[in-house]
Amino acid sequence: MKWSVTVDSRVVKVDPAALPDLQEVEPGVYSLVQDGQSYEIRVAHVNGAHQVDVAGRRLIVDATDPHRAAPRRRTEGPQTIAAAMPGKVIRVLVKEGDAVETGQGLVVVEAMKMQNEVQSPRAGRVIAVAATAGSTVAAGDVLVTIE
Amino acid sequence: MFRKVLIANRGEIAVRVIRALGEMGIASVAVYSDADRRSLHVRRADEAEHIGGAPSDDSYLRIDRILDAARKHGADAIHPGYGFLSENAEFAAACAERGVTFIGPSPEAIRALGSKTEARKLARRVGVPVVPGTEEALGGLDDAREVARRIGYPVMLKAAAGGGGKGMRRVDSEAELESALRDASSEAQRSFGSDEIYLEKLLVNPRHIEIQLIGDLHGNTIHLGERECSLQRRHQKLLEECPSPLVAEHPQLRHEMGEAAVKLARAAGYSNAGTAEFLVDGDGRFYFLEMNTRLQVEHPVTEWVTGLDLVHMQLRIAAGERLGIRQRDVKWHGAAMECRVCAEDPEHGFFPSPGHIVHLAEPSGPGVRVDSGVYSGWDIPLEYDPLLAKLTVHGPDREAAIARARRAVDEYAITGVTTNLGFFRDLLRDEEFISGRLHTGFIDEFMARRPRHEPNSHYDVLAAVVAAMHTRDTEPERTDQLRGSRWVSEGRRRMLR
């Protein structure tokens, strides 16, 4: 049976049976001997996707549901701005109804003593503020929605 | 010698000190915050004491609780590591009052050299060159404006009590001065409890080279050579090495900078380990920058090339022993370099990326040393520094050390979190890096030219198959089994009791 998954947002069709000598040698660590070449491949399930390390590079594989590919980045309509990294919300710089410019700071998130200002990807109006000062956020948590 | 030593720190440096204590037959006491109960340093220590909440000002910066822990456990000395209270003169003095030995310089020497403004004054007095700038903390915006006009832009604002890049701002023109001063002051206040800022001329693209010092309580002070620390992001070091490629070209530099550093240390009555940091221009002119009155993160680089163990030396010196070696006994062999392995994302401005370490495989083999504070299955706390481990390597010369570092980075695997290992993989193959033409702006330039990895359809297929296999074969069954098993829930209930 063929599987369709996305690798770094490229659609790849694969047949797991095509790699007969793939062995899980440690939890999350796979060894493959193919055409006389030895590969070590590591996989970790993080935030709903797989981080796969192969030959010194990290690829993000979404194998959960090939039909639910990542939505294309939208430039019109409501857009959610999410935390890129886990951290703590230090300050919320906007409120519902505010007009924002491209690059304007929305929320300040701190992790490991580093503060990062999350900026608006485009001009628009803030329609929802999910972030609250002092709260902890995970990567991918929605902070602000603009339209 | 001490019988039991408390380590007032966490992470890899606490583990490093615990190892030295074990080698010397001294019992170790770890302290930990709420966020660190499961940390490696707690697991490795002989004894451990909880000292408060996750924020460091409620735990690792609490002098009272750390001293109470030392008394409760009967520790006769405290090793402060680096960061936290390591350069805090009040802490060193409080230890002395309680009859506990502080493993480091005296409170007086920390005061004389730990404040950057005081250290600069002392350097001027003993004839060690410094970067032009203010002698005193700035009186305010008007003062800053006047000094900056006099010495010329660009200038650098720095926290007087600071270190590690906190409370620092580059200012290229007068228009930027006001907001930069405000930001630097508030960051300094938050990080160090003092908003004092000083200002100095910014040398454009200098090298950052430091000298390791060590002195005993009997007036013997020597230097252990330099470390090149030019590779930095946000003024925090990423890769350090000895010899400095510049010193390899100008061998007298090691001697000249070493002498200057020793002169400063003697003038301040300095003992134990310390580091004098210098900026060096392309012509080999050096300017004293600041003194770090503690063990440095990158000390293993010096340990590799000199064959000395700095933590053992620190302990023996604090116990009153003599240094035992003279300057002429110090010899440097081969080349060593350190990669600071951090939970951070080089593709997003090196922003910290804490999380759960799913799998960890550390490199080993000839000439490789890993000083780690982490393990598989550990959750990296949000509250502290993103440094996970230090990979240091040694080889007969710089070329061999680079080759060894590449090999070791290739062996290193950390999954579940984003780390800078891929960055090192590329950096160690960069022609400019290999040529040794390093400067403090190097990383910014490298990030702009670093290689882009083109998609490789073969690797895509391997990744896709492995991810698909991993989803299908392991995770659903494993979680279902764990969820459904009464043995597991019973085990959990017992563990919690």
Query: Looking at the partner chain, which of A8, A52, A111 has a beta carbon nearest the beta carbon of B466?
Result: A52
User: A5, B416: Cβ pair inside 8 Å?
Assistant: no
**Distance in Å, alpha carbon of B175 to nearest chain A alpha carbon:** 20
**Distance in Å, alpha carbon of A144 to nearest chain B alpha carbon:** 20
Phi-psi region for residue B128, left (φ > 0), alpha (ψ -120 to 50) or beta? Answer: beta
Q: How large a percentage of chain B has pLDDT more than 70?
A: 94
**Distance in Å, alpha carbon of A1 to nearest chain B alpha carbon:** 12
pLDDT in tens, B420-477: 999 999 999 999 999 999 999 999 999 999 998 889 989 999 999 898 888 765 544 4
User: A61, B386: Cβ pair inside 8 Å?
Assistant: no
Query: Looking at the partner chain, which of A24, A52, A64 has a beta carbon nearest the beta carbon of B463?
Result: A52
Query: What is the pLDDT confidence band of residue A64, given thresholds at 50, 70 and 90?
Result: low
**Containing domain of residue A131, as a range?**
79-146
Q: Clarify whether residues A90 and A57 are in a common domain.
A: no
Q: Clarify whether residues A57 and A84 are in a common domain.
A: no
- Asked, for residue A72, whether it belongs to a domain, the answer is no
B356 contacts in A (CB within 8 Å)? 46
Is pLDDT at B301 greater than 90 in this prediction? yes
Rounded average pLDDT over B209-228: 98
- Asked, for residue A57, whether it belongs to a domain, the answer is yes
Chain B stretch 356-385, residues whose beta carbon is closer than 8 A to a beta carbon of chain A: 356, 358-359, 361, 382-385
- Asked, for residue A107, whether it belongs to a domain, the answer is yes
pLDDT of the residue at B487: 42
HSE of B203, CA atoms in CB hemisphere, 13 A: 21
B186 contacts in A (CB within 8 Å)? none
Please give the single-letter amino acid code of residue B404.
R
Q: Clarify whether residues A57 and A85 are in a common domain.
A: no
**d(C-alpha B78, C-alpha B6), whole Å:** 5
- Asked, for residue A124, whether it belongs to a domain, the answer is yes
Three-state DSSP class for A16? helix
CATH number of B4-103: 3.40.50.20
Query: What is the pLDDT confidence band of residue A1, given thresholds at 50, 70 and 90?
Result: low
Q: Catalytic site residues of B?
A: 294
Number of cross-chain residue pairs from A and B with Cβ atoms under 8 Å apart: 156
Beta bridge partners of A114: A111
Residue with tokens 């609780």: B65
Q: Clarify whether residues A86 and A140 are in a common domain.
A: yes
Chain B stretch 299-318, residues whose beta carbon is closer than 8 A to a beta carbon of chain A: none
Kindly state whether B399 is in contact with chain A, defined as any CB-CB distance less than 8 angstroms.
no
> How far separated are the first and last CA of chain B, in Å rounded?
40
- Asked, for residue A106, whether it belongs to a domain, the answer is yes
Scanning every residue of chain A, which has its alpha carbon at the shortest distance from the alpha carbon of B388?
Answer: A112
B234 contacts in A (CB within 8 Å)? 114
User: A54, B459: Cβ pair inside 8 Å?
Assistant: yes
Number of domains within chain A: 2
B417 contacts in A (CB within 8 Å)? 46
Q: Clarify whether residues A39 and A83 are in a common domain.
A: no
Rounded average pLDDT over B348-366: 94
Query: Looking at the partner chain, which of A29, A87, A88 has a beta carbon nearest the beta carbon of B359?
Result: A29
**Distance in Å, alpha carbon of A54 to nearest chain B alpha carbon:** 7
Query: What is the pLDDT confidence band of residue A75, given thresholds at 50, 70 and 90?
Result: low
3-state secondary structure chain B: CCCEEEECCCHHHHHHHHHHHHHCCCEEEEEEEHHHCCCHHHHHCCEEEEEECCCHHHCCCCHHHHHHHHHHHCCCEEECCCCCCCCCHHHHHHHHHCCCEECCCCHHHHHHHHCHHHHHHHHHHHCCCECCECCCCCCCHHHHHHHHHHHCCCEEEEECCCCCCCCCEEECCHHHHHHHHHHHHHHHHHHHCCCCEEEEECCCCCEEEEEEEEECCCCCEEEEEEEEEEEEECCEEEEEEECCHHHHHCCHHHHHHHHHHHHHHHHCCCCEEEEEEEEECCCCCEEEEEEECCCCCCHHHHHHHHCCCHHHHHHHHHCCCCCCCCHHHCCCCCEEEEEEEECEEHHHCCEECCCECCEEECCCCCCEEEEECCCCCCECCCCCCCEEEEEEEEECCHHHHHHHHHHHHHHCEEECCCCCHHHHHHHCCCHHHHHCCCCCCHHHHHHHHCCCCCCCHHHHHHHHHHHHHHHHHHHHHHHHHHHHCHHHHHHHHHHHC
User: A87, B416: Cβ pair inside 8 Å?
Assistant: no
| B82, B314 contact by CB (below 8 A) | no
Angle value at C-alpha A60, between A56 and A64, nearest 5 degrees: 140
Query: What is the pLDDT confidence band of residue B491, given thresholds at 50, 70 and 90?
Result: very low
- Asked, for residue A67, whether it belongs to a domain, the answer is no
Kindly state whether B459 is in contact with chain A, defined as any CB-CB distance less than 8 angstroms.
yes
- Which domain CATH number covers A120? 2.40.50.100
pLDDT of the residue at A69: 43
Cα–Cα nearest to B387, from B16, B30, B36, B11: B11
| B138, B356 contact by CB (below 8 A) | no
User: B469, A16: Cβ pair inside 8 Å?
Assistant: yes
Is pLDDT at B481 greater than 60 in this prediction? no
User: A56, B383: Cβ pair inside 8 Å?
Assistant: no
Query: What is the pLDDT confidence band of residue A63, given thresholds at 50, 70 and 90?
Result: low
**d(C-alpha B216, C-alpha B208), whole Å:** 27
pLDDT in tens, A90-145: 889 999 999 998 888 898 888 877 777 888 888 889 999 998 888 888 877 889 99
Residue ranges of domains in chain B:
4-103, 132-201, 207-449, 457-496
Q: Clarify whether residues A85 and A138 are in a common domain.
A: yes
**Distance in Å, alpha carbon of B253 to nearest chain A alpha carbon:** 35
- Asked, for residue A69, whether it belongs to a domain, the answer is no
- Asked, for residue A73, whether it belongs to a domain, the answer is no
Q: Clarify whether residues A141 and A83 are in a common domain.
A: yes
pLDDT of the residue at B468: 84
More confident residue, B53 or A86: B53
Scanning every residue of chain B, which has its alpha carbon at the shortest distance from the alpha carbon of A44?
Answer: B416
- Domain B132-201's class? alpha beta
User: A22, B475: Cβ pair inside 8 Å?
Assistant: no
- Indicate the angle between helix axes B174-192 and B141-151, nearest 10 degrees: 120
Residue to substitute from B376, B387, B456, B466, interface A, most A β-carbons within 10 A:
B466
Kindly state whether B471 is in contact with chain A, defined as any CB-CB distance less than 8 angstroms.
yes
Q: Clarify whether residues A55 and A102 are in a common domain.
A: no
Rounded average pLDDT over B210-239: 96
Kindly state whether B334 is in contact with chain A, defined as any CB-CB distance less than 8 angstroms.
no
Residue to substitute from B470, B473, B474, B482, interface A, most A β-carbons within 10 A:
B470
pLDDT of the residue at B419: 97
pLDDT of the residue at B117: 78
Residue with tokens 């304007």: A104
Chain B stretch 437-456, residues whose beta carbon is closer than 8 A to a beta carbon of chain A: 453, 455-456
Query: Looking at the partner chain, which of A8, A43, A116 has a beta carbon nearest the beta carbon of B466?
Result: A43
CATH number of B207-449: 3.30.470.20
- Token code pair at residue A70: 């990542």
pLDDT of the residue at B478: 42
Q: Clarify whether residues A53 and A91 are in a common domain.
A: no
Q: Clarify whether residues A45 and A90 are in a common domain.
A: no
